[in-house]
Amino acid sequence: MDFFFKPKSVAVIGASRKPGKIGYAVFRNFYENYKGRLYPVNVNAEKVQGVPAFKSILDVPGSIDLAVIVTPAETVPRILIECGEKKVKGVVIISSGFSEVGNKALEERIRDIIDHYGMRVIGPNCLGVFDAYSNADTLFLPSEKLGRPRKGSISFISQSGAVGSIVLDWMSGKGYGVSKFVSYGNAVDVNETDLINYLAQDKTTKVICAYLEGVKNGKKFMNAVRRAVKKKPVIVLKGGRTEAGSKAVASHTGSMAGSDRVYDAAFKQSGAIRAGSMVEMFDYARAMMQPLPKGNKVQVITNGGGFGVLAADQVVLKGLKLAELSKKSREQVKAILPKYAGVHNPLDLVGDADDERFKNALKIVGKDKNVDMILLILLYQTAPLTPCVTDHVINFAKKSKKPLVVCSPGGPYTQLQAKKLEENDIPVFDTPATAVNALAALHSYAEALKE
């Protein structure tokens, strides 16, 4: 399905000249960032945003990899037939007004057309795709209102366009990186199983995240996840867990949510990691960017004693262990600490710790074979610390073969440093508990691969 994400030619059918229209935003996104051949299709315009327009996709010269349909629902079957005649490889149908509003006959009609021509189709009733590497962007939300994340390694599929769009904006603001995003809506053709299979093979995707409301074929989905988790983690957030949520799902994408217990069992059997919230999903996903740990022993490093205590509690509660530094490491750590500080786990560098003390502590702990994972609690508010400590952490992480997560709660100054860490794929958390939870998820995935 590369033509959805790396198209060499794109036609936007329903491209508009009027700001505020969906067809305007979709065409503008491609026009500003996309490097391939771009064709606006509009029956009432000679030009769209300064680009010569065509009355029909059949009038467009050459082959078309991807067509994006942003016209009223009743026009979609005719346009889809024209796409079939044109031998378009992939179509994204942004238009709504199908099974999600009870119009199942119209959706069956487009399914028949898809089957007849052998096209691949995402949608209808969706946002479509965003690829941070190719700049393929069918989202009808303007970039000045919804940020596009930087290039990264997390791919996110979402049955809900609203959930997906807000997550993208949030990821952009936090400095998280994304490879691919897909909002697939009613899934008349391409569904969650197809996308899991594709992303499992995608070289720029290291972690797959999925927001699901229903699954078209449970057995195929489980098999796809089972294959995928052997290569990369799959993290799932399921909507419609309650009776009320299930009813909302039916009116949203026309899906059947099904029993939550059945889904829970299916996720466990297939190796998917289940998240309880959107924040938790991306907490886990960011941790999965780290090297896999060899064991479950965690070394906590902190410059705030109370935060270290909270971290130690959570390590034990999550079934992990506090590491015991070797005799050599303890002697080396003692040499860099003031006389009034002790060598324990949590390792409290105390409140007067400067950049160099953090740098040296990381270096010593990173070499200790008794340590499998590192939780660095970095309180930037203390006077001795400068932004150089951020560079020390980044340099350490680039060379280390052990997973490292950071806990740095705070305001604008702290958030600025945290974003710099995130941009270097070092996950930063606001609380010790969420940081430990992410390490526990990473450890669980590493253990599952050993089975």
Q: The whole model's pTM is what?
A: 0.90
d(CA 51, CA 137): 18
Position 242 scores a pLDDT of 56
Position 158 scores a pLDDT of 94
When divided into structural domains, the chain yields a total of 2
Both 162 and 216 in one domain: the answer is yes
- For the segment 20-32, the average pLDDT, to the nearest whole number, is 93
Q: Range of 412's domain? A: 297-450
Both 241 and 347 in one domain: the answer is no
pLDDT at 257 exceeding the cut of 70 = no
pLDDT at 247 exceeding the cut of 60 = no
Between helices 355-367 and 327-336, what is the axis angle to 10°?
Answer: 170
Tokens for 153, please give them: 């390694």
Both 283 and 325 in one domain: the answer is no
pLDDT tens string 126-178? 999 999 999 999 999 888 888 899 999 999 999 898 899 999 999 998 889 99
Lowest mean pLDDT segment, chosen from 17-21, 86-90, 330-334: 17-21
pLDDT at 33 exceeding the cut of 50 = yes
Both 344 and 420 in one domain: the answer is yes
Say if 395 falls within a structural domain: yes
Among the candidates 240, 256, 287, a domain finishes at 287
The position carrying tokens 């924040």 is: 279
Q: Are 191 and 216 within 8 A, CB to CB?
A: yes
Both 269 and 301 in one domain: the answer is no
Question: For residue 400, what is the domain's CATH number?
Answer: 3.40.50.261
d(CA 26, CA 5): 15
Q: Are 134 and 182 within 8 A, CB to CB?
A: no
**Residue 131 dihedral angles phi and psi, to the nearest 5°:** -120, 115
Among the candidates 263, 287, 311, a domain finishes at 287
Three-class DSSP category at 282? helix
E strands, 159-216, in order: 177-183, 207-212
d(CA 86, CA 80): 10
Both 342 and 377 in one domain: the answer is yes
Between helices 192-201 and 218-228, what is the axis angle to 10°?
Answer: 10
Say if 43 falls within a structural domain: yes
Position 5 scores a pLDDT of 97
pLDDT tens string 168-223? 999 998 889 999 999 999 999 999 999 999 999 999 999 999 999 888 888 999 99
Q: Are 238 and 261 within 8 A, CB to CB?
A: no
3-state SS, one letter per residue, for 353-404: CCHHHHHHHHHHHHHCCCCCEEEEECCCCCCCCCCHHHHHHHHHHHHCCCCE
> Please, where are the H alpha helices in 22-139?
22-33, 76-85, 104-117
Name the band, by pLDDT with cuts 50, 70 and 90, for residue 68.
very high
**Vertex 422 angle, CA 417 and 426, to 5°:** 105
Q: What is the mean pLDDT of the chain?
A: 93
- For the segment 111-116, the average pLDDT, to the nearest whole number, is 97
Say if 292 falls within a structural domain: no
Tokens for 308, please give them: 């270290």
Tokens for 393, please give them: 């952490």
Q: Are 136 and 34 within 8 A, CB to CB?
A: yes
- For the segment 252-265, the average pLDDT, to the nearest whole number, is 66
Say if 244 falls within a structural domain: yes
Both 301 and 264 in one domain: the answer is no
Position 109 scores a pLDDT of 97
